[in-house]
Structure 1
Amino acid sequence: MSESQDHKPSPAANVKVDGESIDLEDEAHGTVVGTKHSTKQKILRVIWDTFDKSPEERRFVTKVDLWIMTYVCLAYFVKYLDQTNVVNAYVTGMKEDLNMKGNEYNMLLTMFTIGYTLGNLPSQLMMTKIRPSIWLPTLELIWGSLVMCMAAAKNIETLYALRFLIGFLEASAYPGFLSLLGNWYTPQELGKRSCIFICSAYVAQMFSGYLQAGLYAGMDGKHGLKAWQWLFIFDGIIGIPVCILGYFAIPDSPTNSKALWLKPEEKAIGISRMERVGRKAPAKLTWKTIKDVFTSWPVYLFSVPFASQLLAIRIYNYFNIYLKDTGRYTVEQVNVIPTAGYAFQVVTTLIMAWVSDGIGKRAPSIFFGIAIGITGTIILCFYPENNHSLMLAAWILTFGQSGASALILTWINEILTFSTEQRLVVFGVVETFGFAMNAWVILYTYPSGEAPRFKIGYQMATMFFAVEAIFIAAIVFCEKKWKPKGHPDRV
């Protein structure tokens, strides 16, 4: 459900651009004041949300897209390239070179998750004190340097320490970027852009597989370094120009932006757009705000499905290990075949985004993704190992629900549109809870000794998808019945 259904928007804003007064679109009715949209315009609006805007607002949104979306997509691409390179490095020689045994691979993932969990909420709180345009790129520069240091690791203990620190610093990215998008885009625009942004992660996962395969073929042994070491070095190098871009591209929020690429009249458009959908400017974080967060339902009901979604889709991280265990494929193929799953992620995520923005509701698209993912995990529960084609199809289906995480956090942006501070805190808590659960659950559900036939893991993934569906239904009910604390319309 879009936030325009929860708030009484202010009248369509009137601002001056280049000395001329223009009327911005009334978000509640989808019209520019004094105009009536044809069926064709409504269809165009669903296809892309700037087609039916005034020329001035269309230019503004396009300009914001050029800067913000370019940066967040590139930055998240680099972040996920790092997260994916561990499994690609593991199946391309790191396991043997560092003599990794038993549950050490899972422990490596867990150390990252512990760091990520501990870094989430502090990073969100720091963004109420330090501008995102300074905070986010600086952390990216530091963790990019640490990624390159992984190439020099001589033992698993060093990797544990580095993965913890990298996770702690990378925790700023996902909730920070979605908070940033919530400062600039309306409900009609936010779902698409959140999902386009998260698709950059899937592209990174695809690219990592091809990159590792290419490095294995062309760089293995060059200058005394193995292909998996070159992967970490390349990942760190790629991130440097992106973080430099961040210092210039991130515009903070419309009311306090110092971005050089925004003209004063464009800031006025940004402010007016947020005012008409009831999205408030950043204010001081107070104890009352924190009390409102923890005595209202969103922080609790969103935490469970977000965590369940993360735990359910964790399963596809073991696709490479399954492929390697079959003995059917070369090292290059083990790295490349999972890219089909990431391509499937991109398609399903974009479908979910366009549908959810088009109908103004998030839940139906999330249920669609759950249906795809749970189909794959149910097949894996039966483990038809004699039917290799069906096994491959099942693994690829487990990728199909990943875009739901962006829609869940977009939904939070909309329900808590009235308070930037509540959004930041709830984002931090929801992410912290989700990754705290991930830190220990995978050790019991995917023990390395059972790879690749994780009997309990496949059943648990199915259960987590079901739990997610139940809580999404509960959110729909609560959203209709109760306003969150602090909401201006709360009785």
Structure 2
Amino acid sequence: MADRPLPAAYDEAAAAKNEMQVDEPKPRSVDDADTSEGGDHRPKKDTLKRKILRVIWDSLDKSPEERRFVAKADWWIMTYVCVAYFVKYLDQTNIVNAYVSGMKEDLGMSGNDYNYLQTMFTVGYCLGNLPSQLIMTKVRPSVWLPSLELIWSVLVMVMASVKNVQGMYALRFFIGMLEASAYPGIITLLGNWYTPQELGKRSSIFIASSAVAQMFSGYLQAGLYHGMDGKHGLAAWQWLFIFDGIIGIPISILGFFAIPDSPFTSKARWLNESDRAMAQQRMERVGRKPPKKLTWGVIRDIATSWPVYLFSIPFACQLLGNRIYNYFTIYLKSTKRYSVEQVNLIPTGGFGIQVVTALLWAWLSDATQSRVWVICLAASLSMLGCIILSVYPEHNHSAMMAGWFLTYCQMGASALMLSMVNELLSFSTEQRLVVIGVIETFGFVMNAWVILLAYDSGQAPKFKVGYEMATMFFALEAIFILIIGYCAKRWKPGPKHQVVDE
């Protein structure tokens, strides 16, 4: 990297800064940083201290210039992606909390209506996922993503006016279609700007924001039920959707300014010329290529290589396994031990577990330099929880609660799975966009119909096959991640699929 010339834009900016200076120092990465106060340009050795600093936080062992750039990128990119995903996941959790807080009775819902509501959202999500990723090869993410979020915010508020379950079905379908852009679009955006040493932590912090949203939803619903129920003729669950939509509008406006597209095409005003040069250098150093046109050749390469197929299976399995904790509130309500407020608040402990484990998996994977084993560990803990629920010790409430809380442990590791996709396909922006879109679409297509078989609402909370199937899904996730780990060492993904020399 040290021998690569900087882009012309950077050289011109440096020259303008000091016309008399012949050689303006380049912004240096960790690989180029000085090893002494005298400015010795020999590469620093990867000492134990530097390794520890890199595990604690990945910018601590970088040069001051690169550290400042990463801090600026974190301020704009991470702030936006976390609050944007927070409000999206707030909506998904609001549906569950609204259902147990009066929506079921007000809309006359019964039987499998709750599952159908989830399925309509999922169908819309599936239909919007891959097209959104493909559109982002033509339309700037800084325009596309916040525009969809603005429309999404309006539709979320409209849910408060629905009078029957059929109207809610229609709205959940379109909200799912609009929301489909968020997760894959953000994961792709993070892959455009962060190196493999930085991507795991950022992706997991991003996922942790969804757990925070789920915690917040419980407290928000409990507060609204206590203080806003019946205000201006609206039930507490209706106020829940109104607040969610109101929060989303300023976040969508922030997106128009915060999203920087890619280092090679960005027009973000918060980036100066030296920032762009630094960003491009960093991506070139790890093999990330500038965006190109999506061609049939790229599609053929995707279809004839293993990542799109092998990653689709464990991603779908983790989605199907994680679906189980959506029924925790229904179980709590069925015990008749808790008030409505308590039913909304108790699951926030599980979401707290998600925040802690998401960060734990990120730091652990960076410390061990292994994504595979960390994902397997996370899946195993959730599988243990599902085994307890499969036994269903209904007279041992403590054991049931332990089983439910263990099911929350895997969610944070899902970000590491797509981080692996970003890292393996770093050679092509287009492949990353399409493959992430296909993986997400496949996962949610499976999710749309499997839950109808596994979680019949009429059987709640003791599902005959749901708990056993969740156990199986977490086991399959771990098995396929191990297979992916082997394939990543044996075969190198790329435009030409070749065996790596041992």
TM range (shorter): over 0.9
Name 1:96's counterpart in structure 2: 105
Q: 1:368, CA displacement in angstroms?
A: 1.1
Rate the CA distance shift 1:332–1:388 in 2: closer, same or farther, 3 A: same
Task: Determine the structure 2 residue equivalent to 1:24.
Answer: 28
Provide the secondary structure at the position in 2 that maps to 1:403. Answer: helix
Distance 1:184 1:381 in 2: 43
- Could you tell me how far apart the structure 1 residues matched to 2:449 and 2:97 are? 22
Q: Return the alpha-carbon distance in structure 2 between the equivalents of residues 279 and 183 of structure 1.
A: 8
Cα deviation for residue 455 of structure 1 reads 2.3
1:39 alignment counterpart: 48
Residue 258 (str. 1) matches residue 267 (str. 2):
yes
Give the direction of change, closer, same or farther, for the CA distance of 1:148–1:27 in structure 2 (3 Å limit): farther
Q: In structure 1, what is the Cα distance between the partners aligned to 2:68 and 2:437? A: 33
Q: Is this contact kept in 2: 1:14–1:23, CA < 8 A?
A: no
Cα displacement (A) at 1:28: 11
CA contact (8 A) 1:12 1:33 kept: no
Q: Is the 8 A contact 1:140 1:169 kept in 2?
A: yes
**C-alpha separation between the residues in 2 aligned to 1:298 and 1:30?**
39
Question: 1:242-267, CA deviations, whole angstroms, 9 ceiling, x for partnerless residues?
Answer: 01000000000001100000001110
Structure 2 spans left out of the alignment, 5+ residues? 18-23, 36-40
Which residue number corresponds to residue 436 of structure 1?
445
* 8 Å Cα contact 1:215/1:227 also seen in 2: yes
The alpha-carbon distance between structure 1 residues 30 and 426, as it changes in their structure 2 partners (threshold 3 A), is: farther
How far the C-alpha of 1:27 sits from its partner, in A, is 6.2
Q: What pairs with 1:77-476 in structure 2 (closer than 5 Å)?
A: 77-476=86-485
**CA–CA distance in structure 2, aligned partners of residues 438 and 158 of structure 1:** 22
Amino acid aligned to 2:446: M
Alignment partner of 2:25: what SS? strand
* Cα distance in 2, alignment partners of residues 29 and 201 from structure 1: 36
What percent of counterpart residues are identical? Answer: 66
C-alpha distance in 2 between matches for 1:415 and 1:28: 25
Q: Indicate conservation of the 8 Å contact 1:25/1:33, yes or no.
A: no
Structure-2 residue corresponding to 1:73: 82
Q: Which amino acid aligns with 1:428?
A: G
Query: 1:6: which partner in 2?
Result: none
Q: What is the distance in 1 between the residues matched to 2:134 and 2:180?
A: 12
Go from structure 1 to structure 2 and tell me whether the alpha carbon gap of 1:29 and 1:433 turns closer, same or farther (over 3 Å shift).
farther
Report how far residue 13 of structure 1 moved. 5.2
* C-alpha spacing 1:30/1:42, structure 2 compared with 1 (3 Å): farther
8 Å CA contact 1:11–1:276 kept in 2: the answer is no
Q: Which protein shows a greater Rg? A: 2
- The count of aligned residue pairs is 482
Root-mean-square deviation over aligned CA pairs: 1.8
Deviation at 1:33, TM superposition (A): 4.8
2:20 paired residue number: none
In the TM superposition, residue 489 of structure 1 has moved relative to its aligned partner by 7.4
Change (3 A) 1:30 1:369: farther
- Residue 145 of structure 1 aligns to which amino acid in structure 2? V
Does the CA contact (< 8 Å) of 1:116 and 1:167 recur in 2?
A: yes
Q: Give the secondary-structure state (helix, strand or coil) at the position aligned to 2:26.
A: strand
Higher normalized contact order (CA 8 Å, seq sep 6+, divided by chain length):
1
Deviation per residue, 1:314-354 (Å, 9 max, x gap): 00000000000000000000000000000001111111111
- Could you tell me how far 1:200 is from its partner in structure 2? 0.4
Report how far residue 30 of structure 1 moved: 13
Q: Do 2:129 and 2:181's aligned partners in 1 also have CA atoms closer than 8 Å?
A: yes
| Alpha-carbon distance in structure 2 between the residues aligned to 1:230 and 1:243 | 20
Unaligned residue ranges in structure 1 (runs of 5+): 1-9
Secondary structure at the counterpart of residue 444 of structure 2 = helix
The 3 A distance-change label for structure 1 pair 400 and 33 is farther
1:5 matched to which residue of 2? none
In structure 2, C-alpha distance between the alignment counterparts of 1:34 and 1:424, rounded to whole Å: 34
Q: How far, CA to CA, are the matches of 2:317 and 2:85 in structure 1? A: 22
TM superposition shift of 1:355: 1.3
Deviations 1:383-414 (A, max 9, x none): 01111111111101000000121111100000
One-letter identity of the residue aligned with 1:386: H
Change (3 A) 1:100 1:470: same
Query: Aligned partners of 1:333, 1:238: CA distance in 2, in Å?
Result: 25
The 8 Å contact of residues 301 and 496 in structure 2, kept in 1 or not, is answered as: no
Could you state the TM-score of these two structures normalised by the residue count of structure 2? 0.93
| Partner Cα distance (1:438, 1:38) in 2 | 46
Residues 487 and 344 of structure 1: is their aligned pair in 2 closer, same or farther, counting only changes over 3 Å? farther
Secondary structure of the corresponding residue to residue 319 of structure 2: helix
C-alpha change, 1:468 and 1:431, in structure 2 (3 Å) is same
Paired with 1:431 and 1:379, the residues of 2 have a C-alpha distance of: 29
Please tell me whether the aligned partners of residues 13 and 276 of structure 1 are also in contact (alpha carbons under 8 angstroms). Answer: no
- Go from structure 1 to structure 2 and tell me whether the alpha carbon gap of 1:291 and 1:176 turns closer, same or farther (over 3 Å shift): same
